[in-house]
């Protein structure tokens, strides 16, 4: 039986046992980012004396109470700016002293979510696969992803990319301390979904992430949403217009940043988003940015140029990513523009002007070709697929192709949806693969999705996907039936009732996107 009392470099922790697994919850991996540390990169933990009880989760990071697609339990959780904690789950009776480690980065549009969300309970993975599972918090909304660094002074330093720095600090903690919990720091797989996956594909282009993980799984990343710092600064100035009288007055801005409440920051972000980002309606204002330091260049371009971290990678998306956003409008205003942004971007790719600019000739113009690939455009269903493919699927294909030149890469598409989701026209949409990966059929969302049946298929698919994810964690490659991806064959695992491997699935769509985005595709073809 694993000891629940562990002496870490920062002090003693006392965990709890739960049948076959042991938990240590609410472990600080950085100093509380409050007061003078509010807008700073994460700082070292201050040691504590005596035992720190690690039997309950820490507060979730400040976020809208009504926001997102999270569970009802999440909305009741205490929240605070003092939230930089992580949680460790490990086998109570481990088969080895050094088990592979799986670190999960949650999604939520960089506005919502927490490592303690019941949907991300990794106990099933721990029991099934003899791994050590870690879930983390990171700063959200303006506190983590607005970039105020141009207002920094020698007396009032301000850092950028704070949420990404939090994630890297958590991974550094794993490298330093996970062996105390039975984990192997040389076999760390970082995996995440949506915003968590965007963070991972961004980390692949960050020199600061080197050595922090040896494998990565990106579930529904949108690798191209990462803007340059100059663009982020323009959004910041627009955002500040809701908080100060004069965004050009540095003293006023710095004073506000010290005193403003997290609620006020959240309301201002809602107003910014509700305004539709007048000048750039297809942009997302709270994301990692290319700051020239932590993230030297656009991740897709960095990976294509061989500048990414050459670690084994699993990357994929869901069959119809866009239908989640077209059917379910998140209740919080800061998330509502997501669908509008995706649609605006989709329209920009199929603007008839592009056909004119392409010129005359026998070849079908790229924008027309793209429209024809989505029958029914611009009706809602076709537009949802176009927007979802443009935001998630095709940029992920770019990363697959680019990364496969430098490291083992394994591509997938998740296609399964239960009867209710198919009847609603949502099908296998964004986030759908989380249920089988975590085996969360008894959660609120799991019971809802299987209300008309499908639990049996989920259980079978869950065993398949968990075995693949666990094989990757143990050996940094999936099971033998899942071949590596390369640009000659583009072999892709399709997860469905009967999973299978396809070569270059939806090749017609891929070629159409390549034609329209010729500049970006030239990087990888």
Q: Which positions are annotated as active-site residues?
A: 194, 321, 430
Residue 127, judged by CB atoms within 10 A of its CB (0-12, 13-18, 19+), counts as: middle
* H helix or E strand, kind and range, residue 192: strand 183-193
User: Contact, 295 vs 202, CB < 8 A?
Assistant: yes
Per-residue exposure over 464-481, b if at least 16 CB sit within 10 Å of its own CB, e if not? bbbebbbbbbbebbbeee
Closest-CA residue to 454 (of 498, 419, 415, 499): 419
Neighbours of 359 (CB within 10 A): 8
* The dihedral sign for the CA sequence 315, 225, 165, 24: negative
Per-residue exposure over 239-277, b if at least 16 CB sit within 10 Å of its own CB, e if not? bbebbbeebeeeebbbebbeeeebeebbbbbbbbbeeeb
Per-residue exposure over 28-60, b if at least 16 CB sit within 10 Å of its own CB, e if not? bbbbbbeeeebbbbbeebeeeeeebebeebbbb
Task: Tell me the C-alpha distance between 92 and 476, whole Å.
Answer: 24
Show the DSSP H helices in 215-333 as ranges.
Answer: 229-240, 250-259, 262-274, 299-304, 323-327
- Give Cβ neighbours of residue 464 (< 8 Å, ≥ 6 apart): 436, 495, 499
Angle at 401 between CA 131 and CA 480, to 5 degrees: 45
User: Contact, 175 vs 214, CB < 8 A?
Assistant: no
User: Contact, 328 vs 320, CB < 8 A?
Assistant: no
What are the beta bridge partners of residue 312? none
**In terms of C-beta distances under 8 Å and separation of at least 24 residues, what long-range contacts does 271-275 make, across chains too?**
271/242, 271/333, 272/235, 272/238, 272/239, 272/242, 272/334, 273/333, 273/334, 273/335, 273/336, 273/337, 274/333, 274/336, 274/337, 275/238
Neighbours of 313 (CB within 10 A): 28
**451 token code pair:** 């209300």
Q: What are phi and psi of 3, to 5 degrees?
A: -70, 135
């Amino acid at each position: 039986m694993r000891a629940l009392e562990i002496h870490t470099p920062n002090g003693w922790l006392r965990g709890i046992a739960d049948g076959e697994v042991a938990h240590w919850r609410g472990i600080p991996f950085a100093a509380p980012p409050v007061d003078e540390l509010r807008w700073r990169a994460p700082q070292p933990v201050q040691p504590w004396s005596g035992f720190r009880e690690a039997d309950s989760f820490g507060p979730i990071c400040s976020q809208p109470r009504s926001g997102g697609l999270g569970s009802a339990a999440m909305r009741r959780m205490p929240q605070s700016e003092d939230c930089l904690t992580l949680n460790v789950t490990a086998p109570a009776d481990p088969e080895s002293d050094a088990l592979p480690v799986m670190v999960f980065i949650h999604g939520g549009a960089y506005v919502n979510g927490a490592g303690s969300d019941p949907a991300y309970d990794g106990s099933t993975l721990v029991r099934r696969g003899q791994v050590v599972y870690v879930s983390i918090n990171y700063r959200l909304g303006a506190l983590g992803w607005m970039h105020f660094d141009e207002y920094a002074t020698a007396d009032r330093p301000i850092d950028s990319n704070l949420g990404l720095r939090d994630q890297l600090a958590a991974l550094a903690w794993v490298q330093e301390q996970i062996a105390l919990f039975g984990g192997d720091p040389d076999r760390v797989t970082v995996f995440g979904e949506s915003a968590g996956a965007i963070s991972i594909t961004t980390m692949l282009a960050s020199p600061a992430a080197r050595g922090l993980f040896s494998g990565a799984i990106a579930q529904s990343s949108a690798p191209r949403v990462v803007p340059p710092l100059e663009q982020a600064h323009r959004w910041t100035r627009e955002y500040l217009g809701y908080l100060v009288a004069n965004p050009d007055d540095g003293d006023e801005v710095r004073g506000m940043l010290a005193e403003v409440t997290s609620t006020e920051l959240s309301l201002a972000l809602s107003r910014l988003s509700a305004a539709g980002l007048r000048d750039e309606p297809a942009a997302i204002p709270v994301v990692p940015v290319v700051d020239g330091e932590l993230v030297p260049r656009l991740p897709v371009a960095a990976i294509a140029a061989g500048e990414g971290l050459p670690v084994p990678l699993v990357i994929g998306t869901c069959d119809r990513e866009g239908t989640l956003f077209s059917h379910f409008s998140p209740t919080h205003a800061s998330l509502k523009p997501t669908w509008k942004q995706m649609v605006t971007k989709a329209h920009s790719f199929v603007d008839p002007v592009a056909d004119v600019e392409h010129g005359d000739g026998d070849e079908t113009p790229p924008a027309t070709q793209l429209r024809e690939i989505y029958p029914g455009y611009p009706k809602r269903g076709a537009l949802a697929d176009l927007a979802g493919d443009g935001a998630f699927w095709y940029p992920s294909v770019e990363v697959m192709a680019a990364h496969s030149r430098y490291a083992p890469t394994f591509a997938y598409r998740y296609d399964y949806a239960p009867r209710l989701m198919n009847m609603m026209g949502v099908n296998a949409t964004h986030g759908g693969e989380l249920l089988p990966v975590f085996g969360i059929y008894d959660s609120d969302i799991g019971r809802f999705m299987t209300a008309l049946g499908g639990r049996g298929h989920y259980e079978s698919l869950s065993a398949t996907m968990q075995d693949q994810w666990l094989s990757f964690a143990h050996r940094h490659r999936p099971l033998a039936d899942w071949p590596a991806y390369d640009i000659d064959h583009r072999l892709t695992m399709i997860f469905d009732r009967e999973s299978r491997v396809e070569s270059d699935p939806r090749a017609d769509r891929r070629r159409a996107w390549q034609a329209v985005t010729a500049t970006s595709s030239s990087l990888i073809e």
